Amino acid sequence: MDVSVLVTIVVVTALIFDFTNGFHDTANAMATSIATGALRPKTAVALSAVLNLVGAFLSVEVAKTISGGLVDDAAITPAVVFGGLVGAIVWNLLTWYVGLPSSSSHALFGGLIGATWVAAGSDAVRFAKLAEKVLVPALAAPLIAMFAGMVATYLAFRITRRATASRTPRGFRIGQIASASMLSLAHGTNDAQKTMGIITLTMISAGSLPQGSGPPVWVIVSAGAAIALGTYLGGWRIIRTLGKGITDIGAPQGFAAQASATAVILTSSHLGIALSTTHVCSGGILGAGLGTPQAKVQWGTAGRMVLAWIITLPAAGLAGALAGVVAESGTFGTVVVAVVGLAFGLGIYLRSRRDVVGAHNVNDIPVEPIPGETVETTGGAAR
């Protein structure tokens, strides 16, 4: 297959991944605001989409980490990157379907590393950089966000304990709109860059850009637009899990969780750390629940969520390795991977239509859902 055609296929696939990243991670910014009624569901996802687009233009440090840090760009081909992207998309769709807030970032890293490893050997994977920029932050960031969310929630209740019960929630809901907006901006700054980095890496591996290059302007614009579109469509299943499935979220807890997550994500973006915004936001929400007196935490849901975090890298890596080997075999292999990926995506979509979760019922409360089974809910429809 002509290199320019393959690069075009990879770029399109990268933007499809970016789109799935958008609807998979909408919950990170807006789940608590929707759960507390600070924003109506459709308004929340529209606001988040706009700010994700704006955030994509604020930094390229994370993009540089991916395009020139995790793997040896001289040892791989566009076909390898294509295989890694397909592996990441498959994992994103699967976890979206079962409503688990796994990390789109780690799915991307896992897919890319798996495809690179089988195609070019372990020497092509920069494990020191992987540990520094991905694995250590993956362990530390959710714990930091959880602690910050717990402390912020405790302080919020202490500071407002003498305020009237009717005024306190309203004030925090207004604060939630601001904190959710900042979180959406931070998400665009961090996550859109990952697709920019993948496209830039592809162009470097094909000889279209010199090594060490940053993303061109058209890459920044297209990646920002793709993640914004995915965000607008709303990942309602995961929004329900984060907003209603982990703990009881009121306006004070929602504000505290969003503010703590925003601080962690913006700091990591400035340092060029490809952080999982899902881990950070989920940690912030769990911390907010722990910081609330007599709050009930759904440990079963939290446990399944953590399990998904643990297996995301190896699972996406296995899928990326398989897809990368097939795609690297030539034109026929690339076509096979594309067809199988499209069929899988269509199958997931059709199954999701049997149990639709949308703006009309996103605030129904899941009763310890089991992946693959129909989710029973209690409570009223979303406001």
178-211 pLDDT, tens digit each: 888 988 888 888 788 888 888 988 888 888 888 7
254 vs 108: CA distance, rounded Å: 28
The residue whose two tokens read 């320019």 is 4
Q: Are strands 377-378 and 365-366 parallel, antiparallel or unpaired?
A: antiparallel
Give pLDDT, residue 168.
Answer: 65
377 phi and psi angles, rounded to 5 deg: -135, 160
- pLDDT of 274 strictly over 70: no
Give pLDDT, residue 370.
Answer: 42
Task: For residue 363, give both structure tokens.
Answer: 């605030």
Closest of 269, 186, 195, 185 to residue 19, by C-alpha: 195
119-170 pLDDT, tens digit each: 888 888 888 888 887 888 888 888 888 898 888 888 888 877 766 555 667 7
- pLDDT of 382 strictly over 80: no
**10 Å Cβ neighbour count for 274?**
27
20 vs 26: CA distance, rounded Å: 10
Closest of 222, 219, 198, 200 to residue 211, by C-alpha: 200
Q: How confident is the model at residue 375 (pLDDT cuts 50, 70, 90)?
A: very low
305 vs 313: CA distance, rounded Å: 14
45-90 pLDDT, tens digit each: 999 999 999 988 887 776 766 666 678 877 788 888 899 999 999 9
362 vs 267: CA distance, rounded Å: 31
Cα dihedral 275, 276, 278, 279 in deg (nearest 10): -90
Taking all residues of the chain, what is their mean pLDDT, rounded to a whole number? Answer: 83
Q: How confident is the model at residue 256 (pLDDT cuts 50, 70, 90)?
A: confident
Give pLDDT, residue 5.
Answer: 87
366's enclosing H/E stretch is strand 365-366
107 vs 79: CA distance, rounded Å: 18
192 vs 226: CA distance, rounded Å: 8
Give pLDDT, residue 133.
Answer: 76
Task: For residue 343, give both structure tokens.
Answer: 């069929």
Mean pLDDT, range 32-42, rounded to an integer: 86
Whether residue 315 contacts residue 91, with contact meaning beta carbons closer than 8 Å, is answered with yes
Mean pLDDT, range 224-230, rounded to an integer: 93
Give pLDDT, residue 225.
Answer: 94
